[in-house]
Structure 1
Amino acid sequence: MAGLAYINFLPGVVNALAGNIGFSDAQAGQIVALNGYGGLLGSAIAIALIRRVQWQYAMLTFLTLLAMVDLATAWVEPYPLLLGWRFGAGVLGGLCVGIGLAVLARLNDPDRAFGLLMFVQFSLGSVVIYLLPGLEIALGAHAVFYVMATLAALSLMLLPFLPSLRLGTSSTEPSAPLPANTTLLLLAILGYQVAASGIWAYVGLIGRDAGMAAEPVSQYIAATGLLGLLGAMLPVISGKRFGRLFWVTTGLAMSMVAAVLLDYAQHTVLYVAAMALLFFAWPAVQSFLLAVTADMDRTGRLSAIAGLTAYVGMASGPLLAASLLERDSFSVMLYICAGIFLMSFVLLFRPVQAQDAPVGAVPLSP
């Protein structure tokens, strides 16, 4: 999953681009958005490619190229050229992520599989965000891209230790989920990721705009990001206990409150509380929703599509947030994101409730 690892420390990428590298806030958001759209294209190609190639060799090729592209980013200076360069990096990363999702989707326990995935990703994000200020002093403004290259190289070192897994056609027939429920759930996943990643991209700049120094902001983000580890472990520990709808509803409510509280970031306590709520809720909600798709279709194809949908949202969130900035004010963006969280809850209620219902039961209408 290191292909799009930058998403886990997105504020650090945006802060670097909009800081010493010299781009505007909006340009920084557009660069990471194009990187994300490249990842979307790569993930879509991977879904078609996975049945036709030996996935370990494909990962070896794509991760090698990605490490080289990330490392060379420091020498790409013009804004239009950097947009294209990071789009290409996104395509390579998306190919790796698409293959990884295809592997995860075939595992036996989707709640725990996706929960552990979120645990690893949020662990990585917190560590990198904490270390970035010092790395920038030691390595320069492009240190975040050197980190990306290092993660790709580390993945290459780990690749030989992965077991073989055939990703051909499964003999198990899909469970034929209701098309309406499938569509609603995918739209809910899309909306939640758009709002969460839009806030995530600018949470560092929101703190700086409120008058905080860069180093404390990074420390606050890293510290509260550790709560994401607890949120990621929630599906691992609880499984389906209390039902997924309960946990998802709680996570959506926490996300909406976080978006509103960030509008009062000049109060450090509220700023930290908002990040804590969002970072705890995000991995838990994402894990539970991906697990619902795995239950809907046991072949894993729907989970792969849901993963692709999630990355559409992650790529679109920074672009939407950038378009909603008004004279360096984040208020409009934050309240629109809160509204998107609410819309996502309305969309996901019926499909999640249907999967929570016992076999043979008829779920109530929302």
Structure 2
Amino acid sequence: MRHSGSLPVNTQQPFFAYVFLAFIAMATLAYLNYLPALVSSLASVLGFTQTQAGEIVAANGYGALAGSAIAIYLVNKLRWQSTLLSCLALLCLLELTSALANSYALMLGWRFVAGIAGGIGLGMAVSVLARLANPDRAFGMLLFIQFSSGSLVIYLLPQLTLWLGANAVFYVSTAIAALALMLLHCVKAITLTPGALANVDSAVSKPARRLSYVTLLLLAIALYQAAASAIWAYAGLIGQSVAISADKVSSAIAVSGLAGLAGAMLPVLSGRRVSRLTLLLPATALSALSALLLTFNLFPIDAILYGSALALLFFCWPAVVSLLLAVSAELDSCGRLATIATLVSSLGLATGPLLGAALADNNNFSALLFSCAALFLLSYLLLFIPVRVLDRLPTTANSAIDVKPEYQR
């Protein structure tokens, strides 16, 4: 149905809406934030072999990718409130009953279905974040909640296992999904806004030009995520290859990971007061520098330099990703592109370890690190044009917008 007139919309949403919706998006695939704890519980506590634990988690991940792909076709066809309600309610059931799955085959299938439900929920939740007035703040808050919740669960899970038993990790996931259901009730009446292209000159929004912007942006996201996850996957081995003890490597990774919280808050605090290019240039350059600092052929690496280089990467990583997801939100008025960007981001993350496996050579990670530095810089070259174009546009947060009813689904 077409809207016959102009519908004025208040384009500002309260800050709690950003927090609650970011938590809801995190809850759809909460296990990703404490993945090491889930694998450890499956292999060490629940009696599965290490291989089976990895395959169960992989099935969950493949289900999530399938669900995210399905969500691309649903975001502008279904009401986001009822879809998220259904996905979260189903997740509560699947997480809780995972504790009853006592065979490998049953657990494998159960977690695959849970992944599909979570992937659809994530795709829908991301499309909602994309249609908030300040997508930079929305995606920054999402990454902040992901980093902080994952660290908290990993820290508390050993004690929770003593209190709740072997299936504590599934009870935690159930509780997170249940809390997300309650928060959904608080934000179900939030008014969403379309992306920045609703206000752009027709020459900028021509299909061919817009497609080129979208292609460049998605390539930038994929390349940056692949490079960052490649370093993350081999971070421990990189440290050990330069004779840093295993204890110091673990401590450096744990402490430097806290820098991700600060990086995720950067877009939240800056909003649109600082242009995205102004933030992305140093962030991608510092990401490349972090890769070079880990290359012992250039510098003698000690534990302090090793931890500092990782902290630099972890600070830049969530900032870059949240800013690029915000750009994708403004290139599409219904949130579908943000869902696609999330799927591309996941594929980039999955490709990183494969890249590392191909380039690592007998504890020599120079080729991998130089390649990752090049990919970081290449991602900036790819994102430069679409981000610059959107930086020159009036933001949706500062203008009244005519909204078609289908965008309010």
**What band does the TM-score fall into relative to the shorter chain?**
0.7 to 0.9
Native 8 Å contact 2:59 2:112 kept in 1: yes
Match of 1:244 in 2: 276
Match of 1:305 in 2: 340
- Secondary structure, in 3 states, of the residue corresponding to 1:178? helix
Native 8 Å contact 2:91 2:174 kept in 1: yes
Query: Are the structure 2 counterparts of residues 117 and 169 from structure 1 closer, same or farther at C-alpha, using a change threshold of 3 Å?
Result: closer
Q: TM-score under structure 2 normalisation?
A: 0.70
Match of 1:234 in 2: 266
Query: Are the structure 2 counterparts of residues 40 and 184 from structure 1 closer, same or farther at C-alpha, using a change threshold of 3 Å?
Result: same
User: Are positions 1:57 and 2:82 aligned together?
Assistant: yes
Bigger CA radius of gyration: 2
Match of 1:150 in 2: 175
Shift of 1:310: 1.9
Shift of 1:110: 1.7
Query: Are the structure 2 counterparts of residues 138 and 275 from structure 1 closer, same or farther at C-alpha, using a change threshold of 3 Å?
Result: farther
Native 8 Å contact 1:254 1:281 kept in 2: yes
User: Are positions 1:160 and 2:185 aligned together?
Assistant: yes
Query: Are the structure 2 counterparts of residues 246 and 142 from structure 1 closer, same or farther at C-alpha, using a change threshold of 3 Å?
Result: farther
CA distance in 2, matches of 1:230, 1:198: 22
Shift of 1:62: 1.9
Matches within 5 A, 1:190-229: 190-201=222-233, 203=235, 211-213=245-247, 217=250, 220-229=252-261
Which blocks of at least 5 consecutive residues in structure 2 are unaligned?
A: 1-24, 395-409
Shift of 1:93: 0.9
Native 8 Å contact 2:132 2:193 kept in 1: no
CA distance in 2, matches of 1:18, 1:7: 17
Shift of 1:179: 2.0
CA distance in 2, matches of 1:259, 1:29: 28
User: Are positions 1:100 and 2:125 aligned together?
Assistant: yes
Shift of 1:186: 0.8
Match of 1:119 in 2: 144
Query: Which of residues 80, 84, 91 in structure 1 aligns to 2:116?
Result: 91
Shift of 1:94: 0.6
Native 8 Å contact 2:132 2:138 kept in 1: yes
User: Are positions 1:296 and 2:331 aligned together?
Assistant: yes
CA distance in 2, matches of 1:242, 1:107: 18
CA distance in 1, matches of 2:239, 2:107: 26
1:133-152, CA deviations, whole angstroms, 9 ceiling, x for partnerless residues?
A: 54456667765444333322
Aligned-pair Cα RMSD in Å: 3.9
- Secondary structure, in 3 states, of the residue corresponding to 2:73? helix
Q: TM-score under structure 1 normalisation?
A: 0.77
Query: Are the structure 2 counterparts of residues 83 and 56 from structure 1 closer, same or farther at C-alpha, using a change threshold of 3 Å?
Result: same
- Of residues 55-64 and 131-140 in structure 1, the stretch that sits farther from structure 2 once superposed is 131-140
Native 8 Å contact 2:238 2:363 kept in 1: no
The count of corresponding residues between Structure 1 and Structure 2 is: 353
1:165-194, CA deviations, whole angstroms, 9 ceiling, x for partnerless residues?
A: 577999x84852532222011111122222
Match of 1:275 in 2: 310
CA distance in 2, matches of 1:250, 1:118: 19
Query: Are the structure 2 counterparts of residues 195 and 152 from structure 1 closer, same or farther at C-alpha, using a change threshold of 3 Å?
Result: farther
Amino acid at match of 1:115: G
Amino acid at match of 1:269: I
Query: Which of residues 287, 290, 293 in structure 1 aligns to 2:322?
Result: 287
CA distance in 2, matches of 1:65, 1:288: 31
Which blocks of at least 5 consecutive residues in structure 1 are unaligned?
A: 360-366
Query: Are the structure 2 counterparts of residues 188 and 169 from structure 1 closer, same or farther at C-alpha, using a change threshold of 3 Å?
Result: closer
Query: Are the structure 2 counterparts of residues 302 and 50 from structure 1 closer, same or farther at C-alpha, using a change threshold of 3 Å?
Result: closer
Native 8 Å contact 1:11 1:204 kept in 2: no
